[in-house]
Amino acid sequence: MAPRKSATKTEARERARRAAAESMAREQRLLELGEEFFVAQGEAEQIMETAEQRIAEIRAKAEQEAAQAKEAQSRVVAGMKGERVAVPEIAQRLELSAAEVRGLLKDSAAGAAGGDAGATGENGKADIGQETVEAPEQETVDA
């Protein structure tokens, strides 16, 4: 005897439901995996942004500290020049070129003209490391 039409139809409906349920479960897994991917991507971008901010902060601090060290170099060269040491001798003593010494002297003069507060103390002396170097005397002109 052949199976009834209603039994065949019921079996077909059950197979279709199972296939649909498997498809929906697969789609749900794919959605969850996609969500996980985009969360990880956002985290990676945030990590890189934070790193870039830290790099910028570190670079700014390093540039500031390097500028302070360069100012200290200029003060030392100015102190040697204040002792009436010739540029070539300063260059030889500090293993620099004469042009580098002149550049440091120019920087020192620019810093002094710009009101470099930390360059000289109360009595006209510049602090360099632990030693004190006498600054050249300045004449005052009454107008």
What pLDDT digit, counting tens, does each position of 9-30 carry?
999 999 999 999 999 999 999 9
Its pTM stands at 0.53
Please name the residues in contact with 88: beta carbons below 8 A apart, sequence gap of 6 or more.
98
Delimit the domains of the chain by residue range.
19-112
Joined tokens for residue 90:
């300063």
Question: Could you give the C-alpha distances from 56 to 42, 51, 76, 125, in angstroms and in order?
Answer: 21, 9, 30, 36
Phi/psi of residue 51, nearest 5 degrees: -65, -40
Give yes or no for a contact between 31 and 23, defined as CB atoms under 8 angstroms apart: no
SS (H, E, C) 53-88: HHHHHHHHHHHHHHHHHHHHHHHHHHHHHHCCCCHH
Query: d(Cα 106, Cα 120) in Å, to the nearest integer?
Result: 17
Please indicate whether residue 139 or residue 12 has the higher confidence score (pLDDT). Answer: 12
pLDDT, tens digit (0-9, with 9 covering 90-100), for 118-130? 444 434 444 444 3
